[in-house]
């Protein structure tokens, strides 16, 4: 179980094996990454900046977000592996993904989090 200060829930990371990637699929959204995270991922994939950006990124304001693909009536992160139903770049995933489900947003949107993550247990 993972506990984070100031959160009313904990997270059982073992639940990810049974989940099917709910945190990577669903409604359309943004998956932001820092310049350093993008650089590491680009190097891991062996692509130059232009190839990487064209294939995997879209500009959202002043930031870059991973593209999405249509998946099961909704969307999935372009790095979601639909066969294994998990992240294909797990070791290179951005901070936004690494910190899930401990986002400030979910402190006040607990019902949404319960629907999205089977690994959540609320503290009494």
- The b-or-e profile of 1-36 (16+ CB within 10 A means b, else e) is eeeeeebebbbeeeebeeeebebbbbeeeebbbeee
Tens of pLDDT along the chain (124 residues) come to: 999 999 999 999 999 888 889 999 989 999 999 999 999 999 999 999 999 999 999 999 999 999 999 999 999 999 999 999 999 999 999 999 999 999 999 999 999 998 889 999 988 6
User: Across the strands, what pairs with 75?
Assistant: 26, 70
Q: What is this structure's pTM?
A: 0.87
Please state whether the peptide bond connecting residue 101 to the residue before it is cis, i.e. omega within 30 degrees of 0: yes
């Amino acid at each position: 179980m993972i506990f984070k200060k100031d959160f009313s829930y904990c997270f059982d990371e073992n639940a990810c094996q049974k989940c099917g990637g709910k945190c990577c699929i669903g409604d359309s959204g943004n998956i932001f990454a820092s310049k350093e995270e993008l650089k590491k991922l680009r190097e891991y994939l062996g692509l130059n900046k232009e190839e990487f950006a064209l294939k995997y990124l879209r500009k959202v304001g002043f930031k870059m977000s991973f593209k999405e693909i249509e998946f099961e009536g909704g969307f999935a992160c372009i790095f979601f592996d639909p066969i294994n139903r998990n992240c294909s770049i797990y070791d290179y995933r951005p901070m936004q993904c690494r910190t899930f489900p401990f986002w400030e947003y979910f402190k006040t949107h607990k019902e949404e989090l319960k629907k999205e993550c089977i690994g959540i247990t609320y503290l009494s």
